Amino acid sequence: MTTPLIIAGPCSAESPEQIEKICLEMKAENAVPQLFRAGIWKPRTRPGSFEGIGEEGLKWMEIVRHHLNIPITVEVGNAAHAELALKHGVDVVWIGARTTVNPFAVQEIAEALRGSNVPVMVKNPMNPDLDLWIGALERMYAVGLDKLAAIHRGFSDAYDKRFRNKPNWSMPIHLKRVWTGMEVINDPSHIVGKRDGILDISQRAMNFGLDGLMIETHHDPDNAWSDAKQQVTPKALHEILNSIDFKEPLENMKPDERLEDLRRAVDHLDDQLLDVLQERFAVIDQIGEHKRQHHLTVFQSGRWKDVMESRTQKGVKKNLSEKFMKELLYSIHEESVKRQEKQLREADAVKKA
């Protein structure tokens, strides 16, 4: 069984006594992670909130090495933070979501880390922008930092109240697909925003084949100076990790004959789907030509509304989710409109010629 990377520690370093208590409880509860995390600088939404201890907190990380003998990681938000982290021998640094959105800040951090070969983890940006996430990783790689990992902490969504940050599982999965070998660590603490849901999100992350977990852990979570609701005790961390069904990545195993048969069936059905889509868009091209000849608009709201409602209802009756049907129909409609617009542009170009 492949062992996932477990990262744990407090949202914020608050005092030497706090760090020591967490370490001692981790050891007592058999909940020692492979990597200890602590926030030294905390980017806060509004001024006046606790923004971290700063450089003094880096000195306290020696307590972790003394009691647990494991490496430490801290967040760096600018070049000065990166330089101080290197100065104090931090083993791994991570770039937070608020920093990832700013390519200038990411580039300055990359330059500050150039030549160090320190491992760097990059959290996803606040919004679901895969290119921005990949771009931050690429900036690290471009200066010679090749020990890279991504952290999936979810994305802002004002309309989905189930999560602090919506997971959008397709994003980390797609990142692993386009960057072969990239490890993606899940941060269930920031996705859920409350400790009760951490086990469920952690299990889902493992089900999706992500490579580890970063779980905020505090000896007294209710009185933590930041993100109190989402932190767990070392005892709870032990219980969570013991409850997760850690799965072997399928690529590490030789699929059995039954699985290969099912995959071949899916491949065949995919070919049929593509053939049907090709036929559908051939008809769409004919519709576009008809609209062009009769000077009709490309988009007709009444027809679009009818297609959306009727096809969605049919899909739901066939046990397809309403969300999936709407996303599928939007994608097909967008491609249809683009094809018809292209026909009009080409016809106009011929006229002008």
- Give the tens place of pLDDT for each residue, 101-125: 999 999 999 999 999 999 999 999 9
pTM of the entire predicted model: 0.79
Query: Residue 254's pLDDT is what?
Result: 65
CATH number for the domain that contains residue 271: 1.20.59.10
CA distance 321 to 167: 18
If asked whether residues 202 and 308 sit together in one domain, one would say: no
3-state helix, strand, coil in the chain (%, to 5): 55, 10, 35
If asked whether residues 238 and 331 sit together in one domain, one would say: no
If asked whether residues 201 and 283 sit together in one domain, one would say: no
CA distance 199 to 204: 9
Q: 103 to each of 94, 97, 98, 139, 292, how far by Cα in Å?
A: 15, 12, 11, 9, 44
CA distance 46 to 44: 6
If asked whether residues 128 and 202 sit together in one domain, one would say: yes
If asked whether residues 201 and 315 sit together in one domain, one would say: no
Judged against a pLDDT cut of 60, whether residue 250 lies above it is answered with no
Determine the structural domain holding residue 220 and report its residue range.
5-252
If asked whether residues 204 and 348 sit together in one domain, one would say: no
Range with the poorest average pLDDT among 23-37, 155-169, 196-210: 155-169
* Band of pLDDT at residue 18, cut at 50, 70 and 90: very high
If asked whether residues 213 and 89 sit together in one domain, one would say: yes
If asked whether residues 53 and 86 sit together in one domain, one would say: yes
If asked whether residues 344 and 244 sit together in one domain, one would say: no
If asked whether residues 247 and 264 sit together in one domain, one would say: no
Judged against a pLDDT cut of 90, whether residue 14 lies above it is answered with yes
- Residue range 146-158: average pLDDT? 95
Structural domain total, the chain: 2
**Tokens describing residue 68:** 């647990």
Judged against a pLDDT cut of 70, whether residue 2 lies above it is answered with no
Summarize pLDDT for 269-323 with one digit per residue, the tens: 999 999 999 999 999 999 888 888 888 877 778 888 999 999 999 999 999 999 9
- Residue range 211-217: average pLDDT? 97
**Tokens describing residue 352:** 């002008």
If asked whether residues 181 and 294 sit together in one domain, one would say: no
* Band of pLDDT at residue 1, cut at 50, 70 and 90: very low
Query: Residue 345's pLDDT is what?
Result: 82
Judged against a pLDDT cut of 50, whether residue 343 lies above it is answered with yes
If asked whether residues 219 and 335 sit together in one domain, one would say: no
How many Cβ atoms from other residues are within 10 Å of residue 273's Cβ? 10
- Residue range 2-8: average pLDDT? 88
